[in-house]
């Protein structure tokens, strides 16, 4: 009997990280898949007349233990991976894909689902039951239930290949990121870089048994270098290394995988009766069609381009004064920081002492208490997978609501970026409300022997962003695990995260936590004013950058035929050209490390960041008009968060706001 296959003997049945060995995973997956298949067989062989309870609900609850173990394994493969875990992932992924295909193509099971679906009028279903039935039926149809046997086999093979190749894509990006570092031995090469960052580079060198300083492609190392280093040649060299990630023709090159992944997705879409993979994906999104997404992105592009051009011209004037006739992309962060300093008289390093990580975390916890009545108590008896991780019991009115894991610092085995994830979903069964286990993973600068972890203002907003996702998970209050928390339409999922970022710019709130870690001095009013004023700094540039990613993603997933005739680089250049503000470089491409769409869940969905910005700008406008801590509006917003995927997202939004979101709210916030 494996530790993973039975209910965990830990507080709140949390993951027993400290007792799990790598060799436990494969046998556990095999046993739990068998168990889950037996649950499915029991549904299929039930002699009773098919109904909502014995088919649809039974299926929603099936495989719960397998889901928990899958979450543990794949979350660790992102946050604390090793060669051994990656090898296990290569073995496990096809087994899970086969299991999934087996269920979705089980004809006897689908016949029962279809019978309940066709006869739904005879049941008096509530809204959530109706949604579960519709989503279950559609899910099976979209997974090939109506295909003939030969095509089912083809789809099964495609899904297997997609699973393995997307996994390989991510592993290549991580390996490519870790393979590069720049060793610096002359301190003058670090001119312009603030001392705490130099200290961080020295620590990195020490960890590698080197004298001097080391810069890596991990964001807490890379971004400050590009922002502050006066040595333009070094900026160019390190930017080039970053732009070549998985695009250098070497062992970790992803160009072939991009073409293979997109070809497989197109085959899958055609097999299921769709023109393109984008059509297949968008059928289940708020946006509905590629044409609507492209119209949305191009409308934003038209409105944002003049602002972006103006911003870049300001930067070019600064660069020209330094003797640079043709500014390049690797100059952008450096001159943007210079301009920001000129305009708003502060830089990120100046602000960092006012944003020690513990204070920012306390602030976001306090906000959750003020808006939603949640409190957070650190627990030291809950197992964790790394000493950097902290665990909290979340309570509402003194009662257990959720577990929250936070994992803030970069490590060799952790992928870049920041994300929220779940180890266990919320659901109700047999009279019990089984609560969720949620995790936030980031890559902030580690504390040093003299200094706590200090966040840039952008990192402050990142923490609020991920915590917004976490609230969506922690507040979940639905009947079924498949409709719980962040199980919503993908272009709705970024609303809670982006909404919470707005509070970071509110002076009333900022003053409660932006305090110097040594003196306790509150961030001066003039700096807070500058933060507020700088909220939309380079907004045109950032908007074009996001639109570029969105256009590239949408075209990759709707025009794959063109990619057969041209290189990844040429395709990327063609569809991002309208959004490019600097000369291109033939040696770099971002697609081969575009993990969001080739490894994560954003295939044909990257536009959803901008789409959700319309929602979040409109939602926060509602708070602004009535008080940012308004309890009545917070209560309505809490209903939206706790409802998960039980209702159509536009209906949920209108119930909260009273009307559909207006794109003008975003334009007003972004460009005044």
Residues labelled catalytic: 466
Quote the Cα angle for 24-28-30, to 5°: 130
Which residues sit opposite 356 in a β-bridge?
454
Phi, psi of 504 (to 5 degrees): -65, -20
The tokens for 599 are 């490894």
**For residues 38-76, b (16+ Cβ closer than 10 Å) or e, as one string?**
ebbeebbeeeeebbbebbbbbbbebbbbbbbbbbbbbbb
Tokens 């049945």 correspond to 13
Which residues 6+ apart lie within 8 Å of 433 measured at CB? 426, 477
Q: What share of the chain is helix, strand, coil (3-state, %, to 5)?
A: 60, 10, 30
Asked if 19 and 3 touch (Cβ cutoff 8 Å), the reply is: yes
> Of 224, 238, 237, 230, nearest to 191 (Cα)?
230
Quote the Cα angle for 562-564-568, to 5°: 80
Q: Is 346 left (phi over 0), alpha (psi -120 to 50) or beta?
A: beta
Strands 437-441 and 399-407: parallel
How far, in Å, are 102, 114, 139 from residue 142 at the CA level? 14, 13, 5
Quote the Cα angle for 528-532-534, to 5°: 110
Which residues sit opposite 428 in a β-bridge?
433
Spatial separation of the C-alpha atoms in residues 12 and 8, rounded to whole Å: 8
Torsion, Cα 227 232 237 243, to 10 degrees, reads: 50
Say how many residues make up the chain.
672
The tokens for 91 are 């073995």
């Amino acid at each position: 009997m494996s530790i993973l296959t039975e209910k965990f003997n830990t507080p709140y049945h949390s993951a027993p990280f400290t007792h799990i060995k790598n060799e436990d995973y494969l046998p556990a997956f095999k046993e739990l898949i068998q168990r889950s298949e037996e649950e499915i067989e029991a549904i299929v062989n039930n002699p009773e007349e098919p109904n909502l309870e014995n088919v649809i609900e039974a299926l929603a609850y099936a495989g719960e233990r397998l889901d928990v173990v899958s979450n543990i394994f794949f979350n660790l493969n992102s946050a604390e991976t090793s060669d051994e875990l990656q090898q296990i992932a290569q073995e496990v992924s096809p087994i899970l894909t086969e299991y999934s295909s087996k269920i979705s193509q089980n004809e006897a099971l689908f016949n029962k689902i279809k019978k309940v679906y066709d006869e739904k009028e005879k049941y008096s279903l509530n809204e959530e039951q109706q949604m579960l039935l519709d989503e279950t039926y559609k899910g099976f149809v979209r997974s090939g239930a109506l295909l003939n046997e030969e095509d089912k086999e083809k789809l099964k093979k495609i899904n297997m290949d997609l699973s393995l190749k997307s996994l390989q894509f991510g592993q290549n990006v991580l390996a490519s990121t870790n393979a590069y570092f720049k060793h610096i031995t002359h301190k003058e090469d670090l001119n312009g870089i603030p001392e705490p960052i130099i200290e961080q580079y020295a620590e990195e060198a020490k960890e590698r048994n080197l004298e001097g300083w080391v810069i890596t492609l991990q964001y807490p190392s890379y971004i400050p270098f590009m922002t502050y280093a006066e040595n333009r040649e070094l900026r160019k060299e390190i930017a080039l290394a970053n732009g070549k990630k998985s695009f250098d023709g070497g062992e970790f090159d992803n160009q072939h995988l991009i073409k293979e992944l997109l070809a497989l997705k197109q085959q899958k879409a055609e097999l299921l009766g769709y023109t393109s993979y984008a059509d297949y994906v968008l059928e289940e999104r708020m946006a509905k069609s590629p044409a609507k997404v492209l119209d949305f992105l191009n409308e934003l592009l038209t409105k944002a381009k003049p602002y972006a051009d103006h911003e870049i011209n300001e930067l070019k004037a600064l660069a020209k004064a330094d003797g640079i006739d043709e500014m390049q992309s690797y100059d952008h962060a450096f001159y943007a920081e210079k301009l920001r300093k000129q305009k708003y008289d502060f830089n990120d390093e100046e602000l960092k002492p006012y944003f020690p990580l513990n204070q920012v975390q306390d602030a976001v916890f306090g906000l959750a208490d003020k808006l939603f009545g949640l409190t957070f108590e650190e627990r030291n008896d809950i197992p964790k997978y790394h000493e950097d991780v902290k665990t909290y019991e979340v309570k509402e009115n003194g009662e257990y609501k959720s577990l929250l894991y936070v994992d803030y610092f970069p490590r060799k085995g952790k992928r870049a970026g920041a994300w929220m994830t779940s180890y266990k979903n919320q659901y109700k069964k047999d009279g019990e409300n089984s609560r969720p286990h949620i995790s936030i993973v980031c890559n902030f600068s580690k504390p040093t022997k003299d200094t706590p972890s200090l966040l840039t203002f952008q990192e402050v907003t990142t923490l609020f962003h991920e915590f917004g996702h976490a609230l969506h998970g922690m507040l979940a209050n639905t009947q079924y695990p498949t409709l719980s928390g962040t199980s919503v339409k993908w272009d709705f999922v970024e609303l809670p995260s982006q909404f919470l970022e707005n509070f970071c710019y509110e002076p009333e709130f900022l003053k409660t936590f932006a305090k110097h870690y040594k003196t306790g001095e509150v961030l001066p009013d003039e700096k807070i004013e500058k933060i507020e004023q700088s909220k939309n700094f380079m907004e045109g540039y950032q908007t074009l950058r996001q639109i570029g990613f969105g256009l590239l993603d949408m075209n990759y997933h709707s025009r794959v035929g063109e990619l057969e005739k041209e290189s990844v680089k040429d395709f990327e250049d063609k569809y991002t050209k309208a959004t490019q503000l600097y000369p291109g470089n033939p040696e770099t491409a971002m697609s081969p490390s575009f993990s969001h769409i080739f490894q994560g869940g954003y295939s044909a969905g990257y536009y959803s960041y901008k789409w959700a910005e319309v929602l979040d700008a409109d939602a926060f406008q509602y708070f602004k008009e009535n008080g940012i801590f308004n309890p009545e509006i917070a209560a309505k917003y809490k209903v939206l968060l706790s409802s998960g995927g039980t209702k159509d997202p536009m209906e949920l939004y209108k119930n909260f706001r009273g009307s559909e979101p207006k794109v003008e709210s975003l334009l007003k916030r972004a460009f005044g």
